[in-house]
Amino acid sequence: MSWDALYSSAFDKVRGNIGKVGGVLLAYNTNIDAVKYLDSKDLERRVRNVGEDEVLRYSDELPEKITSLEHLFGGILWSVRRGKAAELFVESCSVRFYMKRWGWDELRMGGQVGIMANLLGGVYNVPVIAHVPQLSRLQAELFKDGPIYVPKVENGKLRLVHPRDFAGDEENCIHYIYEFPRGFRVFDFEAPRENRFIGSADDYNPNVYIRPEFHEHFEEIASESELAVISGLQALTGENYREPVETLRGHLEILNDKDIPVHLEFAFTTDRTVREALVDLLGKFWSVGFNEVELASIMEVVGEDEIARKLLTHDPVDPVAVTEAMLKLAEKTGVRRIHFHTYGYYLALTAYKGEFIRDALLFAALAAAAKAKLGDVHSIDDVVKAMEVPVNERAKAVEAALEERYGMEKGIADVDGYQLSFVPTKIVERPKSTVGIGDTISSSAFVGEFALRP
């Protein structure tokens, strides 16, 4: 069967079975994304006003957080020059005010939890319970219709209500997303790839603030769930990680006691101590998702510097190095599923077997292409529109390497008692925007897999 035929059959199977999936618990980060598509003349003018030399210094070395306009523009140029995503906390009120006045083109749902809630609940019609640190009116309006719930406690009793029915009037947590296309030119720089720089003007998500409803009623909330996805730990630091990580440990114990499979959506975590703490907890997760930079950052923590280096030197990423990294991590931590995604292909290493694992990856790749093409996916029928996007040609060499090394057939191989599943993805030439594609991939593949389980 060709990859196109496998794609089409995987989509039909997931569409037919997704209704079987019960509640998915999503925690912890939800925010508002204020998306601005950068204009190079405007950007150059603003950089000159602030002082070009100082800004350029930060475009060489990313500051830790944003406390000045030089940091803000340095961060944006850092991303543009490399075509890489970056996210920094905006501490200064005057910079927050400047960003607000600079404005945005679109307000969108943000944070892994918010994006996954709208996709799973609002598009796939899978019931979800979401942790939303602050429910402002604007935040609530960004939730789609559908079986999306947040816990509300009245007279000590827990109810699950749609975020709009929570009727909250809490703070706005705004992340300013500065998007640029491939080839975007500013001063002497040219973006090698489309991507974005994020400045988070938000005191809740970066600290992983956890709502009282979740502290006090987690057991009951978990009882309403069949699956869980944890995200939003990426901005923690050596100073503030202890308390949220302890709360997470408690939540994982409850979920493990109830046999609820939990996926960790790993995002780039700069602090090494936090990465170490997450590796220590990995055995309590069923599944974890990474891109190449994130997987390399974990290899460094477990003392595999040579593999980390290999992961970052090839384009497309060397699939044998990825497989070696996944095997090391599975052996070390006992996590049962590792999902790797990069530009052009995905791999999954699982401690269990079946074609449904590969088929869920194919479904996820279609959803990702739909998201890249349309910016927002409105219905499951939008996902099938991505069938017309061609399968990435450059993944042929990746597939050949896996066939030669592991005897892979139709994207499936047996490696040291694990199953390795591979799919070439569909790449949209001119994506509408890049933010949230990773979340679309990971949640579609994880939930899709549970829809297809025999």
Cα–Cα distance for residue pair 172/359, rounded to 1 Å? 39
Cα–Cα distance for residue pair 78/66, rounded to 1 Å? 13
C-alpha to C-alpha distances, 397 to 256, 344, 392, 394, 403, nearest whole angstrom: 40, 11, 11, 6, 10
The answer for residues whose C-beta is within 8 angstroms of residue 370's C-beta and 6 or more apart is 377, 382, 383, 385, 386
Using alpha carbons, select from 452, 453, 343 the residue that is nearest to residue 10. 452
Contact status: 179 vs ligand GLC (CB under 6 A): no
The residue (of 108 and 310) whose beta carbon lies closer to ligand GLC is: 108
The residue (of 8 and 68) whose beta carbon lies closer to ligand AMP is: 8
Candidate ranges 145-153, 240-248, 409-417, 433-441; the one touching ligand GLC (CB under 6 A): 433-441
Residues between 33 and 52 that touch ligand AMP (CB under 6 A): none
Size, binding site for ligand GLC by CB under 6 A:
15
Q: Report yes or no: 261 and 286 within 8 Å, Cβ to Cβ.
A: yes
For ligand GLC, the binding residue among 23, 74, 75, 110 (CB under 6 A) is 110
The least CB distance from residue 437 to ligand AMP, in Å, is 4
For ligand GLC, the binding residue among 70, 292, 304, 439 (CB under 6 A) is 439
The least CB distance from residue 55 to ligand AMP, in Å, is 25
Residue 323's binding partner among ligand AMP, ligand GLC, none (Cβ under 5 to 8 angstroms by kind) is none
| Residue nearest ligand AMP by beta-carbon distance | 438
Candidate ranges 70-78, 273-281, 295-303, 434-442; the one touching ligand GLC (CB under 6 A): 434-442
Contact status: 343 vs ligand AMP (CB under 6 A): yes
Residues between 156 and 175 that touch ligand GLC (CB under 6 A): 175
Q: Build a one-symbol-per-residue string for 288-327: x at contacts with ligand AMP by CB under 6 A, - elsewhere.
A: ---x------------------------------------
How many CB atoms are closer than 10 A to CB 355? 18
Using alpha carbons, select from 129, 74, 59, 66 the residue that is nearest to residue 93. 66
Q: Which residues of 201-237 are buried (b: 16+ CB within 10 A; e: fewer)?
A: bbebbbbbbbbebbeebbeebbeebbbbbbbbbbbbb
The residue (of 95 and 326) whose beta carbon lies closer to ligand AMP is: 326
Candidate ranges 25-33, 222-230, 287-295, 408-416; the one touching ligand GLC (CB under 6 A): 25-33
- Paired with 197 in beta bridges are 86, 178
The residue (of 25 and 233) whose beta carbon lies closer to ligand GLC is: 233
Residues between 391 and 430 that touch ligand AMP (CB under 6 A): 425, 427-428
The least CB distance from residue 207 to ligand GLC, in Å, is 13
Contact status: 372 vs ligand AMP (CB under 6 A): yes
The least CB distance from residue 175 to ligand GLC, in Å, is 4
Residue 169 annotated among the catalytic residues of the structure:
no
For ligand AMP, the binding residue among 248, 437, 445, 451 (CB under 6 A) is 437
Q: Build a one-symbol-per-residue string for 184-213: x at contacts with ligand GLC by CB under 6 A, - elsewhere.
A: --------------x-x-------------
Contact status: 342 vs ligand AMP (CB under 6 A): yes
Query: Of 202, 359, 376, 439, which is the active-site residue?
Result: 439
Contacts with ligand AMP, residue ranges (CB under 6 A):
85, 291, 341-343, 368-369, 372, 425, 427-428, 431, 434, 437-438, 441
Contacts with ligand GLC, residue ranges (CB under 6 A):
29, 31, 33, 87, 110-112, 115, 175, 198, 200, 435-436, 438-439
Catalytic residues: 439
